[in-house]
Structure 1
């Protein structure tokens, strides 16, 4: 469970303050995949960063039951001089999971071939994303923070990513950011809409989609 209690966050811009969280109170239940919807710039990534602990709120509290991942697919924490395999081993030790099992999973899943044993600084953005997704989803968390989980790679790799993610969701929950309503319907049971610092939670993902589309002034995917 993730409880947001009187959560506030804003940034100062040239045009004045930008409010991301305006005294948000919400509970994201355990074991549920929740779509986080909102227009570009609404603050979805910032809210996810606050939940993940990488961004500090201005005030309020985030109470978490169980373990929460870093944003799935985030590659900013890799050490460029280390190989993909070495980075994977390092992360396995930090999180206390079996090193050899995670190494085998990531090597197979990422499809990097011999590059898995090359320095990460030599990777393309797509290769880093494959490695990051493999490491993220390879570690069992109670809740996964996911930003565009299926956006990396070709059609076959995207399909494999969806299959692995859905398998994880049998025993975990997630907070999912994606602009594809088809993906929202496929991956999520519930939804939350962020607009002007206000977060509205829906137990039925279709209600969240309808709210989001009203905000966007469209019935098309945004």
Structure 2
């Protein structure tokens, strides 16, 4: 369960204010995959990072139960001078996972070959994405935070990413930022629309998609 209690987030820059969240009160039920819909620039990724705890709200709070992932596929926390293997083991220790088991999973899934043992600073953006997605999927969470991550890599990797993500969704919930309505329909049980700092939650995915598409035409 993820509950927003009077959640407010305001950014101020050079005298201008942008309100991403305006006193939001809503609840995402445990075990559901919830799509987070909204136009570009509405603050979907910011909301995801507030759920992850990497951005603090201006006011209000987010209350959650169970374990919540970092945004799936986020590679920004990898140490560039450590190898993919060393970074994987480090993340395993932080989250209390078996480091050998996670390393074996990531090495097989990401298919980085010898680069898995080289510094991450030598990786291409695609290689970093494959490493990050592998680490994310290798640790079991009650809720996964997803920000368009399955779009990375070639067709074969995208297919494997989609398959393993679906497997995780059989046991876990998710909050997913995506612009693909087909992915929303295939993957999500519910959806929420973020517009002008307001968040509207829908148990019915089609109602949320209709709301989002009206906003896109407006």
Q: TM-score range by the shorter chain?
A: over 0.9
Runs of 4+ residues over 6 Å off in structure 1: none
1:115 corresponds to: 115
1:137-148 aligned at under 5 Å gives the runs 137-148=137-148
The size of the alignment, in residue pairs, is 218
CA distance in 2, matches of 1:99, 1:14: 46
Cα drift, residue 14 of structure 1: 5.2
Give RMSD over aligned pairs.
Answer: 1.1
Q: Does 1:47 align with 2:32?
A: no
CA distance in 2, matches of 1:128, 1:188: 27
Corresponding residue SS for 1:150: helix
CA distance in 1, matches of 2:192, 2:133: 23
2:129 corresponds to: 129
Cα drift, residue 206 of structure 1: 1.2
1:12 corresponds to: 12
1:83 corresponds to: 83
CA distance in 2, matches of 1:51, 1:71: 9
Where in structure 1 are there 5+ consecutive unaligned residues? Answer: none
Where in structure 2 are there 5+ consecutive unaligned residues? Answer: none
Corresponding residue SS for 1:116: helix
Cα drift, residue 15 of structure 1: 7.6
Cα drift, residue 27 of structure 1: 0.4
1:38 corresponds to: 38
Cα drift, residue 149 of structure 1: 2.4
Q: Does 1:105 align with 2:105?
A: yes
Q: Does 1:171 align with 2:160?
A: no
Q: Does 1:214 align with 2:214?
A: yes
2:196 corresponds to: 196
CA distance in 1, matches of 2:18, 2:72: 26
Cα drift, residue 104 of structure 1: 0.8
TM-score, normalization by structure 1: 0.96
TM-score, normalization by structure 2: 0.97
CA distance in 1, matches of 2:165, 2:199: 25
CA distance in 1, matches of 2:8, 2:62: 11
